[in-house]
Amino acid sequence: MSNIQVWTLVFIILSFGVYIYIAWRSRVAETKGFYVAGQGIPTVANGAAIAADWMSAASFISMAGLIAFLGSDGSIYLMGWTGGYVLLAMLIAPYLRKWGKYTVPEFVGDRYSELVRTVAAGAAIIISFTYVVGQMNGGGIVFSRFLNINITGGVFIAAAIIFTYAVLGGMKGITWTQVAQYTVLIVAYLIPAVAVAQTITGIPIPQVSFGQILNELNALSAEFGLDRYTEAFTARPMIDIFLVTLTLMIGTAGLPHVIIRFYTTKTVRGSRYSAFWALLFIGLLYTTAPAVGAFTKFNLLEGVQGRSVDQLPQWIENWRATGLVSVDPNATTIGSVSNSPDAGADLTINNDILVLASPEIAGLPAPIVGLVAAGGMAAAMSTAAGLLLVISSSVSHDFYFRRFRKNAQDRERLLVGRVAMAGAVVVAVIAGINPPAFVAQVVAFAFGLAASSFFPAIVLGVFWKRCNDKGAAAGMIAGLTVTIAYMVHTLEVFGTSANDTILDISPEAIGAIGAAINFIVAIIVSKLTSPPPKHLEEMVENLRYPAERRAEPVSGGTDESTPSKE
């Protein structure tokens, strides 16, 4: 066993032991603890848990790799995900926390009707399954390289660990486990980034120092037949850049597993402070990712420049065993590098390995390599646990309890939730072994589904009293249908063949179109049908304004922009 594998085992065993211990100490026996952690999580801890839930395998493992190969165009992930979080924190989260229920479908059901709750629960399950596939695959990649097993075995191990602590502690256990996971992942991300920045530039602040290598990186990229790193709109057309960024933003504001995190605070004010702490914690990684992408690509290209295939760096041989790095058998020297197996390059590298391989590429010691592996697993598991909880709550609370067994006791509902979580793990493992795309792309598809379903329904539910159940249901179904149909059309999923995109719109970008269709359909149908009952309009009024403001008399009638008592 190599030193890297030894250190990887040490860090993973230690971190996994901590996660399971926390889950055991936080185990719950009632639904409120299982779904919203008893609504007693301190704001700083909740902010760290939100950040860990937020920064999935896509953020830790895949995003910097995509930035490395996309260059300037990779900013879509940085702008979309961080901008979307601000949108969520300011526009949606405080209102839903004031509503004070367990799940996003529950808010939608209370605001509209039981029919819309069912549609929303189905959408939550579809979104969460899509998202969790990327996390399972990310965990499999970590294990396959550093424990010298295949990706299938790695996915099974990751799933078993996640299922164990998610079932034990529910939201309470997941929350405190995510605090520990955030600590592991951010330390694992920053230490190698700082070390590489110091080695290459002499300045140990990656966010500042990576700018010094960009001109040289542009020249290296051109030598290998790649686009200039700093040149915009080379990997994607402008319209697609705009739509992907918009999709990721509004998809973020509609993600059910992130929204429910704001239900766990003690007060509405606490949810706002949680948003501040979460944004600070997220910013530590997101401001470092562009530097990691630039440094890793620089080291990669410089390390293989002019080399013959029998003199390649050891890290390439290490990763070739996973099937995620390949060398053209007909090549004698490395003259071209690509992240696509269809490009015919001498050296092909999967996006998802660059962060995990960056310490090896930079020649850092084995303990740092092992720490990065533990950080990648922490990122994948923290998000996967939250997603499994959404699936569990949608099945047990929004389907089973609300539709079939309204008199079910806590013990019965918890049992159904745990069984649903087990079923979700099985399906996620199967899909995670053969995902339809890179980890970050799979996650982007989930954001598109959230954008086209939940975001319009929540925004209209909070800010437009005239929106009714028929409009909300029709809008969600229309938005989801268009989005899923386009993804199936352009991807190799469900046994279909991939087709060309329409108007240069990628499957990651279609969520914004689906959201627009959702808004339009919901507004038209709501206008053509009867308005919601008065008690629902009053419910929305109470959600948006304090009671003393609603009681103020308003001269000249009422309108949607003026708080009033109706």
Asked if residue 160 is part of any domain, the answer here is yes
The predicted-structure confidence for 398-438, as pLDDT tens digits, reads as follows 777 777 777 777 778 778 878 888 888 888 788 778 776 66
Mean pLDDT of 443-457: 91
Range of the structural domain that residue 174 is part of: 3-296+364-432
Q: For residue 27, what pLDDT is reported?
A: 66
Mention every residue, 6+ apart, whose C-beta is less than 8 A from residue 481. none
| Confidence check: pLDDT of 212 > 90 | yes
* Structural contact between residues 168 and 266, judged by C-beta atoms closer than 8 angstroms: no
The model's pLDDT over 276-293, given as tens digits with 9 standing for 90+, comes to: 888 899 999 999 999 999
> Which residues does 404 contact at the CB level (< 8 Å), separation at least 6?
none
Alpha-carbon 405 to chain mean position: 32
Domain at 26, CATH number: 1.20.1730.10
Domains identified in the chain, total number: 1
- Indicate whether 454 belongs to any domain: no
pLDDT of residue 418: 80
Q: How confident is the model at residue 566 (pLDDT cuts 50, 70, 90)?
A: very low
Confidence (pLDDT) at 464: 93
User: What average pLDDT does the segment 86-107 reach?
Assistant: 79
460 vs 262: which has the higher pLDDT:
460
pLDDT in tens, 519-559: 999 999 999 999 999 989 888 888 887 655 554 443 333 33
CA distances, 64 to each of 186, 386, 565 (Å): 14, 23, 51
Place of tokens 């420049």: 305
pLDDT, position 104: 80
C-beta of residue 22 within 8 angstroms of C-beta of residue 255? no
- 328: in domain: no
Token output for 354: 């660059």
Predicted TM-score (pTM) above 0.85: no
Q: What is the pLDDT of residue 138?
A: 80
Residue 165 has a pLDDT of 64
- The reported pLDDT for the residue numbered 564 is 35
With respect to residue 84, please indicate whether it lies within any of the assigned structural domains.
Answer: yes
- SS3 labels along 209-261: HHHHHHHHHHHHHHHCCCCCCCCCCCCCCHHHHHHHHHHHHHHHCCCHHHHHH
Per-residue pLDDT tens over the stretch 489-530? 888 765 556 678 899 899 999 999 999 999 999 999 999 999
CA 116 from chain centre, in angstroms, equals: 25
pLDDT confidence of residue 559? 39
> 211 pLDDT band (50/70/90 cuts)?
very high
Helices (H), 43-146: 43-54, 57, 63-70, 75-87, 93-99, 104-111, 114-146
CB neighbour list of residue 210: distance below 8 Å, 6 or more residues apart: 197, 201, 290, 291, 294, 295
**Residue-level pLDDT at 346:** 93
Is 247 part of a structural domain of the chain? Answer: yes
**Residue 229 lies inside a defined structural domain of this protein:** yes
Q: Render pLDDT for 166-178 as a digit per residue (tens, 0 to 9).
A: 666 566 777 888 8
Classify residue 535: in a domain, yes or no: no
Between 394 and 203, name the one with better pLDDT. 203
Give the whole-angstrom CA distance, residue 338 versus residue 303.
15
Q: Report yes or no on 269 lying in a domain.
A: yes
Pairing label, strands 337-338, 347-349: parallel
pLDDT given for residue 384 in this prediction = 79
- Residue 496 pLDDT: 59
